[in-house]
Copies of this chain bind each other. A is one copy, B any other.
Amino acid sequence: MTLALDPAAQDLLFREAHTANTFTDEPVSEEQVRAIYDLVKYAPTAFNQSPLRVVLVRSAEARERLVPHMAEGNRPKTATAPLVAILVADNEFHEELPTLFPHFPQAKDVFFAERGAREQAAGLNAALQAGYFILGIRAAGLAAGPMTGFDAAGVQKEFLDDDHTPLIVVNIGKPGEDAWRPRGPRLDYDEVVTSV
């Protein structure tokens, strides 16, 4: 009982959850996505910069435009998942900083005047938030199928602009038949954690 998080929640978010490759037809509602965001938005980012943006691919037309940019092995599941979301880093997040981090409104100009610094910060912090979002999907009782196998330049050109970098495409829904393979091995604690 070293963890404070109760075992059912541990199972829901981590131990019993798997990346899903097939889904049922049950739709994912706007209300569910709102509930996910309204939970995970509280998790931390540097300077509260909150650079994650989410594009929900809701229409059949948009889905048809997305699928060809996916790696071949990812196309069938991306074509059939109840909902597909593109998780994006907003490289111009600094425009919101005076509102998001009122304790130090100068942060926008002091730390993020350079585009390169913004891209680096947005990439790291939006990826942190992508991790929160994936767990948020599970918190909603849904399965996530996150994928990095896609043509990022193609997805950016198709759905975004130069200021927005796609990081992960994630299928969302209730898991279907044979939704996952047996879990792969994980690294042992001593392979990952060292002390100095």
Which residues of chain B come closer than 8 Å to A139, judged between CB atoms?
Answer: 3-5, 9-10
- For residues 137 through 177 of chain A, which have their beta carbon under 8 Å from a beta carbon of chain B? 138-141, 144, 146-149, 159, 167-168
Indicate which residue in B3, B54, B146, B147 contacts A39 across the interface (CB closer than 8 Å): B3
Q: Indicate whether A40 reaches chain B with its CB closer than 8 angstroms.
A: yes
Bin chain A's interface residue count. 35 or more
Which residues of chain B come closer than 8 Å to A149, judged between CB atoms?
Answer: 46
Please tell me if the beta carbons of B124 and A185 are within 8 angstroms of each other in the complex: no
- Bound complex: CA A5 to CA B144 (Å): 15
Which residues of chain B come closer than 8 Å to A32, judged between CB atoms?
Answer: 2
A-B contact pairs, 19 of them (CB 8 A): A2-B35, A2-B140, A4-B139, A5-B39, A6-B8, A17-B43, A19-B44, A43-B134, A44-B134, A46-B148, A46-B149, A48-B184, A50-B187, A52-B192, A55-B196, A96-B187, A96-B191, A128-B130, A129-B131
